Structure 1
C-alpha cells in the first residue's frame, strides 16, 4: 500500500536529522511538516462521530438492499459497519453509481469507499488503501462428476462458457479452451449445469455466492489461479491517517473472528484472508 508520511514519522525523521547533522533545508522541513499537518482525516472523523462510506447499493452480495425491509446490507456494508464500530463512530453510507464513486471520494462527499475496490498499481498511484479485507482467486467450475479438468492446462480442447469481454475469456482462450460466448455468470453456470459446456471460469466470490444462494448441487471448483485479487477500503491521498486507523480496526476484526463470521454469512467461507 502506498503511504505518505504521518506526523509521527515526520517528527522522528526530523529528530534523526538533527542528531546526525544532516543538512536539510528549513524550507524542506517546513514543507514536510505542513504536509503531515494537513492530514486531519482521522481526527475529522472522530470529531464528527461519523465515518461516511461510498458504496453502490446495487452490487449483491457486497452492497445491496434486502428484498423485504429494503435495508442496505451486504458483505462490504457489514465490514464497514464493524470498522466504524471499532473506531467508535457511526457508519453513514452514500449510495453512488460506480462510474462516479471515485469522483465522489475526490470531492470529499465521503471519507472512504467500501465496494470491492481492487488494489491495482494504477489506483495506488492515485489513492491510499487500507489493508485488504477480501481476497479472491479465479476458479474453474465444472460438474461434480468431471474428472478430466484438474488444472488450467487441462482446459485445452474443452469448451467453456464466458463473457467475451471479460478477463476470464482471455484466460480460457490462453488455456486452449474453445469459448462459447455468453452475457454473464447466470448463463455460463446454467450451461455447465445442463452439460452443454465442460466448464466456466469466474471469480471465486461469484461461485461462493451462487453456492450459498442456490446450493450449487452438482458443481465443484476444479482449479484456482495462483494470483489473488485483493480488495480494500480506498481513501483520498490526504487520508493516510484514517487509512491506517481502518487497517488497525481490520486487524482487530480479523483476530476476534468478526471478519470470518461476516464472510461465512455471505459466502459460506472465509474470504477475508
Structure 2
C-alpha cells in the first residue's frame, strides 16, 4: 500500500523534469545545426527510397526546405509508421514530417504546424466489387490500414474491421490479393500506386463530410511555441518564394497547398 500511494508523488516529481528535457528546442536545433525529422520512409510519393536507395519524396523535400529556412541541416530518422509520432515522446527526433493528418485527438497530445498539404480521402475497392459504393457500406467488411491512422478510425466509425498493415503499399497489395474488401487512403498515394501497377482497382467514394481531416501538418512536442512559430514561418516562406509550388508540381503536377 505504501508503494502504491507513493506513485502519484513520484509522477509529480518526474513529469516536470521530462518537460525540461525538451525545453527551448529551437535553440538546441540551431545550436546543433541539425533538424531531426521522423519518417517511415515507405510511403510513396511522400517519403520513399528510390532505385539508388536514397530517401526522397514530397515530404522529404519539404522537410529539407524547412531545415534550410531554419538555418540547419536535416537528419531523417526512419521508423514504423504506427510508432512514428510516439517517437517524439522518446526524443528520437524534433518533428515528424510524414503526411500526418491533423486531428483533434492528436492535437490533444502534440502540436501541429499550419497545414502544408490538402488531399482528398478516398475509398478504394476492386473493380469487380459491386457491394461497396460508399463508406456506409463498410459495415462488417475488412479494411486494410495502418492501425493508428486517421483512415483506420474512419473505417471503424463506419463499422469496418481494420486489418493492420505497416505501409500503404501493403494495404493495396492485400486488396489486390482479395484478402481485404477495401482500403481508405489519400488520393495521391493511390494514384501513384496505380501509375506503376495499373491494377483492377477503383475509387468509389470521396470523404467530404468535413468530419475527417484531410490536411497534414508538421508534428512537434507540446510547449515549444518558438519552434512552432519558426516552422510556420518557414512554411509561409517556401510557399511565398515558389519553393513549395516547385516541389508540389514535381510529385503531383499541381499545387496541393490549397
* TM-based fold match above 0.5: yes
Rounded Cα–Cα distance in structure 2 between residues aligned with 1:211 and 1:80: 26
Structure 2 segments unaligned to the other structure (5+ residues): 1-18, 166-170
Q: Which moved more, 1:250-259 or 1:126-135?
A: 250-259
Structure 1 segments unaligned to the other structure (5+ residues): 1-34, 192-198
Rounded Cα–Cα distance in structure 2 between residues aligned with 1:125 and 1:173: 25
- Map 1:247-266; keep pairs closer than 5 Å: 247-266=232-251
Contact 1:161 / 1:188 at 8 angstroms: preserved in 2? no
> CA 1:171–1:266 in structure 2 vs 1: closer, same or farther (change >3 Å)?
farther
Once the two structures are superposed, what CA deviation does each residue of 1:60-87 show, in whole Å capped at 9, x if it has no partner? 332222222x111122111100111122
Contact 1:163 / 1:169 at 8 angstroms: preserved in 2? no
Count of residue correspondences = 222
Rounded Cα–Cα distance in structure 2 between residues aligned with 1:250 and 1:39: 22
Contact 1:162 / 1:169 at 8 angstroms: preserved in 2? yes
- Map 1:1-273; keep pairs closer than 5 Å: 39-68=23-52, 70-140=53-123, 162-163=143-144, 166=152, 169=155, 184-188=171-175, 202-204=184-186, 205-214=188-197, 216=198, 223-226=205-208, 227-273=212-258
Displacement of 1:88 in angstroms is: 1.8
Displacement of 1:262 in angstroms is: 2.0
Displacement of 1:213 in angstroms is: 3.5
Rounded Cα–Cα distance in structure 2 between residues aligned with 1:235 and 1:65: 24
> CA 1:189–1:97 in structure 2 vs 1: closer, same or farther (change >3 Å)?
closer
Q: Which moved more, 1:95-104 or 1:252-261?
A: 95-104
Q: Which moved more, 1:216-225 or 1:199-208?
A: 216-225
Superposition RMSD in Å: 4.0
Specify the structure having the higher radius of gyration (Cα).
1
Contact 2:172 / 2:183 at 8 angstroms: preserved in 1? no
Contact 1:56 / 1:98 at 8 angstroms: preserved in 2? yes
> CA 1:242–1:228 in structure 2 vs 1: closer, same or farther (change >3 Å)?
same
Once the two structures are superposed, what CA deviation does each residue of 1:183-202 show, in whole Å capped at 9, x if it has no partner? 832353687xxxxxxx9663
Contact 2:126 / 2:176 at 8 angstroms: preserved in 1? no
Rounded Cα–Cα distance in structure 2 between residues aligned with 1:270 and 1:161: 33
What SS is found at the alignment partner of 1:185?
helix
Rounded Cα–Cα distance in structure 1 between residues aligned with 2:174 and 2:254: 24
